[in-house]
Amino acid sequence: MKLSITDSIELQPLAVTDSLNIFNLVESSRPLLGKYLYWVDGVRDELSANKYIEERTNSGLPGSRWFKIIFDTQVCGVFGIKSISAGSGIAEVGYWLSHAVHGNGIIVNIIAQLSSFLLEKTDAKIMEFRCLENNISSIRVAKKSGAEFVYLIPNYINTGNENQDLHIYQLQL
């Protein structure tokens, strides 16, 4: 399933055939992505990028859907509905972009369109963002999308020799 977001932004299903593109994007943005995403160190070549994709697209989690992000006809990142909880209706989302396309409102536009998709096609009632406390860009996306801070998980992960809390934001759909 392909989702047209704007004239220049599109979501297409993520597939193992995207491994080389994904590896190249991770490689070009490794220092920035590695600050906040635990899996970046494990993507070191096309084969490990393939594993990254397979782990996501075959997660078996309810409602899970993963997309490559196309901006101006080029793959520039990944967007995922990680899961949708049947009981609570919470759809957890995750995303990352190549540093080359930051500042274009790509994720905020995707979130705006995805809200109506989730309401129409799933049982989701809430979109959830999980952001490390120092990931200011991701927190900004959640807030710009209308999500509100609901709680934090203290000392969630150690990155760069620093413990970081995980901030949870939720957007009512």
Per-residue pLDDT of the chain (173 residues; tens, 9 = 90+): 789 999 999 999 999 999 999 999 999 999 999 988 989 999 999 999 999 999 999 999 999 999 999 999 999 999 999 999 988 999 999 999 999 999 999 999 999 998 888 878 888 999 999 999 999 999 999 999 999 999 999 999 877 678 899 999 999 99
pLDDT at res. 2: 87
pLDDT at res. 160: 66
Ordered by where they begin, the domains of the chain are 3-129 (3.40.630.30)
- Residue ranges of alpha helices (H) inside 76-146 are 106-121, 136-144
Write the CB contacts of 78 (distance below 8 Å, at least 6 apart in sequence): 14, 22, 56, 66, 67, 68, 69, 95, 96
pTM of the model: 0.94
Amino acid sitting at position 7:
D
Residue 45 token pair: 């070549």
pLDDT at res. 5: 96
C-beta of residue 115 within 8 angstroms of C-beta of residue 100? no
Q: Kindly report the number of other CB atoms within 10 A of residue 148's CB atom.
A: 11
How many angstroms separate the CA atoms of 139 and 161, rounded?
Answer: 21
User: Whose CA is closest to 128, among 103, 153, 104, 106?
Assistant: 153
